[in-house]
């Protein structure tokens, strides 16, 4: 739970390569919902660790990193997701509190969370008026509604509603009206993590398809001896190896202190497209079993689209990439 967080608060000091290894191991279970449910704190807690006050870190991080408390991130709104600069949820300062009004949606761990890192508008229009607040689950005026999804069943997702919610001013994360950069830094690490998750699940698809092809007999031979099946497996491996090299290079750049925004955006698309291809081919190789509940590839196939949408949709990633390329 504490990988990549400060040791002083119960974390384990580690780089992104270490996090990638842990992600791939979790992917062996073949459940993106498992990872989303267990690790929503990896997007909810970094702003606290990176820009929060010492008092706030000491108060909330130990419980989160021990697994006793659940942390989540609340940015996306019913009126938009990737267009963070135009978010509508407001927070008005009154004495020692902020009064929050608005709504968030598609929030991972939104029902079960104890701590909510909420993006709010405390100033004028655009990126200069955005702040981050830590809201606690029992705040009066704070209600939630569960969302049923195609996949990620074991990870709860919710719409959140704020009606005159009073949040203590000391729960401000960082400085007022300076929350946008904290959000953007969070997005970059989240996108690298999502790429690693897509790659790990693609590898699981290849493994499951290969094992099935070795066991399944057709017309006196196992599927693995059929050229068309062997070529499918080769095509899956080709895309996996290319994505793995891209991920390794991008992580190296980040660890060197660079800000490879173009690479991060294109990597996320490359990885999710690799997963979609591998999941499709794995289901095809397993045939009827691939379409049946209870197999890893059936579950992964249903879950592919959430990775190409969450953390920045594929189309948004392309647009961010070309802007960084000066086009």
What's the token pair of residue 190? Answer: 């989240």
Four-CA torsion 289, 293, 296, 302, nearest 10 degrees: 110
Closest CA to 76 of 315, 313, 305: 313
What's the token pair of residue 96? Answer: 């020692």
Is it the case that residue 80 has pLDDT exceeding 80? no
With a CB cutoff of 8 Å and minimum separation 6, the contacts of 27 are 35, 197, 200, 201, 203, 204
Give the confidence band of 259 by pLDDT, cuts at 50, 70, 90.
confident
Q: Are strands 157-168 and 142-146 parallel, antiparallel or unpaired?
A: antiparallel
pLDDT value at position 29? 95
- Report the 3 state secondary structure along 233-258: HHHHHHHHHHHHHHHHHHHHHHHCCC
Its pTM stands at: 0.93
Q: For the chain, which residues make up each domain, given as ranges?
A: 7-177, 181-324
Domain 181-324 -> CATH class: mainly alpha
Task: Please give the mean pLDDT across all residues of the chain.
Answer: 95
DSSP 56-125: HHHHHHHHHHTTSS-EEEE--BTTBSS-GGG---EEEEETTEEEEEEEEEEEETTTT-SEEEEEEE-SSS
The verdict on whether 77 is a catalytic residue reads: no
Neighbours of 97 (CB within 10 A): 16
E strand or H helix at 145: strand 142-146
- According to CATH, the topology of domain 7-177 is Butyryl-CoA Dehydrogenase, subunit A; domain 2 (2.40.110)
Given the residues 77, 178, 190, 208, select the one marked as catalytic: 190
Cα–Cα distance for residue pair 274/195, rounded to 1 Å? 10
Phi-psi domain of 172 (left: phi exceeds 0; alpha: psi -120 through 50; beta: other): beta
Residues 87-141: tens digit of each pLDDT: 999 999 999 999 999 999 999 999 999 999 999 999 998 889 999 999 999 999 9
Residues 39-68: tens digit of each pLDDT: 999 999 999 999 999 999 999 999 999 999
pLDDT value at position 181? 84
């Amino acid at each position: 739970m504490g990988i990549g967080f400060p040791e002083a608060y119960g974390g384990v000091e580690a780089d992104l390569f270490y996090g990638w290894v842990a992600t791939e191991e979790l992917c062996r279970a073949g459940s993106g919902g498992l990872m989303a449910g267990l690790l929503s704190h990896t997007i909810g807690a970094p702003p606290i660790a990176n820009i929060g006050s010492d008092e706030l870190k000491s108060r909330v991080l130990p419980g989160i990193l021990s697994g006793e408390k659940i942390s989540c991130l609340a940015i996306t709104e019913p009126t938009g997701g990737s267009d963070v600069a135009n978010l509508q949820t407001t927070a008005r300062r009154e004495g020692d509190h902020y009064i929050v009004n608005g709504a968030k949606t598609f929030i991972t761990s939104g029902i079960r969370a104890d701590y909510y890192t909420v993006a709010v508008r405390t100033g004028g229009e655009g990126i200069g008026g955005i702040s981050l607040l830590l809201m606690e689950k029992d705040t009066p005026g704070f209600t939630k509604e569960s969302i049923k999804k195609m996949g990620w069943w074991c990870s709860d997702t919710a719409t959140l509603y704020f009606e005159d919610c009073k949040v203590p001013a000391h729960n401000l994360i960082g400085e007022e009206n300076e929350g946008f950069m904290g959000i953007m830094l969070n997005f970059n690490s989240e996108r690298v993590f999502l790429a690693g998750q897509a790659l790990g699940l693609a590898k699981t698809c290849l493994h499951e398809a290969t094992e099935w092809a070795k066991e399944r007999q057709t017309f006196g031979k196992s599927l693995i001896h059929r050229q068309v099946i062997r070529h499918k497996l080769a095509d899956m491996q080709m895309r996996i190896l290319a994505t793995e090299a891209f991920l390794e290079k991008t992580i190296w750049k980040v660890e060197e202190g660079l800000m490879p925004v173009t690479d991060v955006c294109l990597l996320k698309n490359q990885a999710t497209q690799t997963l979609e291809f591998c999941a499709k081919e794995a289901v095809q190789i397993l045939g009827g079993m691939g379409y049946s509940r209870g197999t890893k590839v059936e579950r992964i196939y249903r879950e592919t689209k959430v990775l190409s949408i969450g953390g920045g949709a594929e189309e948004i990633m392309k647009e961010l990439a070309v802007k960084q390329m000066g086009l």
